Structures are given as structure tokens and as C-alpha cells.
Amino acid sequence: MTGPGFPLETHSRFITLEGGEGAGKTTVLEALCEALRAQGLEVVRTREPGGTPLAEMIRSLLLDPAHEPPAPETELLLVFAARAQHVRETIAPALARGAWVISDRFTDSSYAYQGGGRGLDAAFIGELERRAVGLRPGLTLLLDIDVGQGRERARGRDQAPGGGGPDRIERERDEFFQRVRAAYRARAAAEPARFRVIDASQPAQAVADAAVTQLRAWQEREA
Ligand code: T5A
């Protein structure tokens, strides 16, 4: 990573997990980390927005419904501000020392939520990706689920004791999440070498097993 304007670099030890609300990323993340650690590998588990103290502060600005709602462009620039910091402070150093990095969401979330959901121009997002991020995952697992089913799960989690209630984005209407899902699926179809789509409507263990199978196949391919 040398500075702004560098070309996009794909890193095979950088894995991302994507999906709409309530797709079940948390359980899958744990299974993926465990599978790599069982092989004696160093794994850095991280998330977006977030992954550094400053980026976590930006996350709370973005998701706390108590704040003034950001304009779509503000929302996009905030997620990229967090991501630029996350890449430089957490992801790139971990990859440089030989660790695997598994991130709960990355730039595909911006294409899906700010591009698909908010209707912002994909070329604008692409420019930010090249200039402010410069890094792409080798493998992206997309947990795909019907919007109603995913939102039902997210509601169950948010309404449980200590759940904290829905964040600002979770309060959007179903149509917003339908556009998010369509954008994810379009990205997966356009980049079959990087994406693996997993049916996230299955029971949690089956989803986790499918994700670990894809990870192992990826490792074998890259070995
Ligand atoms: N965002 C993010 C953007 O708009 N642009 C960006 O560039 C980025 C990076 C925060 C928000 O930020 C937005 C997208 C998001 O709206 P987040 O932290 O990933 O992103 O969002 P969360 O609200 O924390 O997580 P999700 O709602 O996406 O849910 P998960 O993590 O996919 O689901 P999880 O694991 O919490 O599971 C939800 C519930 O379902 C159960 C779980 O036990 C839990 O209760 N569950 C299952 N139940 C039945 N069967 C299964 N297979 C299940 N798997 C999980």
C-alpha cells in the first residue's frame, strides 16, 4: 500500500463475508476462523464498518438512529473513511505478516447498500475503492437469503434481551433490502471467480458447513 491512486490488488488470504440483514454472518465467521486456526494459522477477525478504534467511532455515527440521518453521499463517504483506516491500520499489516484476515463485510457492502439500496453511482463507488482502499478479497462468501426471512431473524436478535433494537439502516423498508439483495446477486454473477453464493435459509450448522467447505476448496486452489 503506497498511497492514493494505487491499482486494486487482490489478496488470496483476505476473505470477506457478505449478505443482507440477518443472513447469519456471525455463526459463519466463527466457523471459518475456527477452521483456519485448527490448521495452526493466524487469523484476524474483523468487521465493517469498524475494525479500528476510529473506524468503530465512524460506525456508531453511521448506525445510531439518534444522530441526524446522513445524506446518501455522506453515508458513502463515511463508510469509505472507515474502510481506508481499516485497511491501513488492521488489514494490510495483518496480511503483510502472513495472517489470514476474515472481515464481516467490506467494499461489496457499499456497492450493495449505497449503490443498490441508495441508488448511488457504481462508478463513484469504484473510484473510491481504487483511490481510498486499493485492496480486494480473494474470496467472498455471499450469504443469500429472502429479505423477509432475514429481517425476521434480525428482529428476533434485536428484540432479545440486550439486543439493543434496530439500528438506523435496519429501520429501512423492505424495498431497500430487495435492492440490496439484487445488487449483491448481480455482483456475484459478474465475478464468479471471487464470489461463492451460499443458501443462508438453511439451518445455521448447514450454512456454516457450506462456508467452511468453500474456504477449504479455496485454500486447495491457492496452495
Ligand atoms: N453497511 C456496511 C453499509 O451500508 N455499507 C457498508 O459499506 C458497510 C460495510 C452494519 C450495517 O452497515 C451497513 C450494512 C448493515 O446494515 P452489520 O454489523 O453486519 O453491518 O449488521 P448487523 O446488523 O450487525 O448484522 P446483520 O443484521 O447483517 O446480521 P448477521 O450478522 O448476518 O446475522 P446474525 O449472525 O446476527 O444472525 C441474526 C439472527 O439470526 C439467527 C442468529 O442467532 C441471530 O439471532 N440465525 C439463524 N437462525 C436460523 N437459521 C440460521 N441459519 C441462522 N443464522 C443466524
Give the pLDDT score at 67: 87
Q: Which residue's alpha carbon is at the smallest distance from atom 7 of ligand 1?
A: 110
CB 81 within 8 A of CB 58: yes
Atom of ligand 1 at shortest range from CA of 27: 35
How far is the centre of ligand 1, averaged over its atoms, from the C-alpha of 20 (Å)? 7
Residue 167: CB atoms within 10 A of its CB come to: 16
Q: Report d(CA 28, CA 197) in Å as an integer.
A: 13
Within the chain, strands assigned E span 9-19, 43-47, 100-104, 135-144, 195-199
Work out the pLDDT band at 6, boundaries 50, 70, 90: low
Give the pLDDT score at 98: 97
Average pLDDT score over the chain: 95
Give the pLDDT score at 164: 82
Could you give the domains of the chain? 9-222 (3.40.50.300)
Question: pLDDT of 17-74, one tens digit each?
Answer: 999 999 999 999 999 999 999 999 999 999 999 999 999 999 999 999 998 999 999 9
